[in-house]
Structure 1
């Protein structure tokens, strides 16, 4: 291969070899480019001839150019300089690419010449950045998880120990991350935890160590195991923990670590123990009752005259036992429902918080984008004003491009698109804020002067998905003062009434829900009316009883209106219902504007 005349002469046999290299090769002396091979041309986007015409330092972005120049000058002067490092390369298109630069110097024709090899590592750097970002995201997700969670890698080193884990176990993440001392959080002596056994694949040891701890395979996670155990060294009296460990795999399916979640079930275990004690007491009572029945039978055989008295005693005691069982079952159902409602509230607040951050970024970016678009269109307008000075062939090409892109339509439509996007993100932010306000637990027992219209609107916003397919909402608000109340509890009452009204609409017919408010002296009133199926007169006076519901099985617990009744009474108010079958139902709440000083004691 013969070198071009504008390329620094190398031995002729070296040109084919240099052009066959997959890495970019460039020779320069004092910034004057002497030679560039084909790989360097592909990497930079410049032809070899263009590279030879450029100053060597011009192929680097300004941010690194001075450093490269100083190292190159030092190398030409015979000083020691770094010979292998990663830096940025500026391509002909203006893009920046990461390269690994290997630099040496050679004596060519008696002059010190710098030999540069450029290896494109852009994709590797992008992959490293993506992996780092994913790792940071995983760390944030795990740390924000309310479930105590720890993660170890294939070397059994702790990589994650979230805040919930710190609270339950009592050890800080800084004490464990980067170590293999996870055992110290659970046991007085060193031994593997379940996550260690998952990483090592020691299933037999798992059976040996956890076989008597209700060990079982996870029904939902492949390769995961669950167990529960008592840890006497935790806390003052020890703790019962339910834990699940699952393998973490790479793209090849190889185990690269394990994740373990914990749940403090000490209260549940105490409740189970208490339930067993109560069961034993109940059995003892039944045994005593049986003994009494046997004595009664003997008495009956001895004296027929006492038979009626013994039968009455037996029936009375049987009724007591039946009533006791019914009360026990009702109490259990109410506890389960309360736990479910509390869990749903916590989950809703957590989801709202996680959504709020990215929506904030999107909303901010849309506002910035609107400004950028306005500036860009201003620049385009300036260009259009100068079109008349362009040659006819240039104006013709511009006109063709505008028509192909339907430029006038794009210019008008882009503002509408940005406006609709901003409106959409604002809508999402409002829904998230309403959800957070609704699900926020009362942190104090202080009463607040609240705007009931705001509470009604935010609750309607949250319940819109339940309502919008069934009914239209009509607001007939009167003038209301601020009302002294517990806002989140009243929002729960409003939610129950709105959902009940929506569910009262018959299938196939869209109804109307009317919300009215007004003031009567020192009292305010709120009405929620629907034009649904109505409530039969014979059950209307039972709607506020616990566990009473007219809904099908699985559609309601019968606790909503009972809880609402209790909340309104706590506010020294009143709630009533009126209904006409086939025409709809109306609930009316009356509340005092101000609470007496003793209201807090009612809680």
Structure 2
């Protein structure tokens, strides 16, 4: 609570006002001396200090600024101005706010003071403005409607008579609006229009009885609306016109009828045109009947000829489609066979190279082992010689021997030679591993038949074969689960894994990426594998064609477009499933599921992928 220092003695009084939810303000000598929290919030004062430093009349918006000041001064002089009135507040945040002010003069201690209470009228004001605008909009819509329209209220008085209605009836709105004389435009004496009838909520039979010379029906749009067409004499024009009229009741938000609207369209020209059209249709129908009889026989002969031609053309198309499909299958089979033969030749060549390398590697490995043993013996002999070095030195013959030991640095050789042998044996072991991976990948030394194989070993072999493609572009992360051996053709699975690894590496851009390989088992009968990269991903168009034969996004000469197609066929042949999800700019993940055991009818030797 914040009050002016001159009224601090009335502190208890202001405590009571602070608890009131109604906005209350007191002013004296032109300034606000008190405002409760509700008043401060309503006007938007940031602090009580800001409120107490403001003249009271500044809460009035625009011209209300001076009106408040004049009325406040007059009330202080006991001139008794209007005690209750509405005005717009000058809120600090600029929002629109209308209030009702009740003001009176009171004595606070020894000082005359103006007591003001406020009621927020903003919602009511907005509703009144909205209702007024809606009425104006409705009147504008009706008046601008090109269809002749008039509206009556519940007392049958005309509230709207638009320009189109004035033109049609030659009765201006000034003569009709506010009266119940709408009948004068259509009848020589008082008679209900359709809008007037609707205010009584008639049945269809009652409406039809009121218009015996018209076709009356219920509107398809509104079951409470009626429409009809009849020949009417327009009184002001002294002319008969065919009019199509529709009328509907108007209800308020509570469902009460407060009026009716009627629309009238002059369809005279349409009726004349329709009659003329009917005459022409009759003449035309006669000519058509004559021609139809002449054409019927010719059409029958022509149809027979068309049927023969269509049958021949259909057969020709069927044979052409069969030839195209057969040609496509042959072309696909030829390309797959060429690819399979190429892969088989590469596999045989790799197996041969591996075999040829394996023999000399064996010699080197064996010789390194023997050399290691020989050097061990030599070092033991050298140690024995050194044990007698003191006797030789005592005999005075040490000069030449000492110089030779210093020259060859015998101690360094003892340390370095075992390291050299160890590094050489490690290098030979790595070459042997690469050779073994080549043999495992090609499987040229075993028949291409179903066998139990370790999937992880197949993946590792493919990684080693693709090392040159991967090592400069990505790091490979292995997240292997616990997998049983599965029944498969290892060489074919090796080919699938190699395709996925090479594609993943080629999808990674200039920035070094990651290739993650995950495995796991859904149950004892099925295993799953995932190959994920963070490369450039695929667009929707590429994804829809990824498994199509000969489809590739690589430059000419860089790919055949058969890698994923063959991989799909291999996985399908193994009774598994291969799918993928790819997002441009994020990467691609391929998921493969394979059965642990194969049905008996699939265990056939097959060299084709």
TM interval, short-chain normalised: 0.3 to 0.5
TM-score after normalising by structure 2: 0.45
Q: Normalized against structure 1, the TM-score is what?
A: 0.46
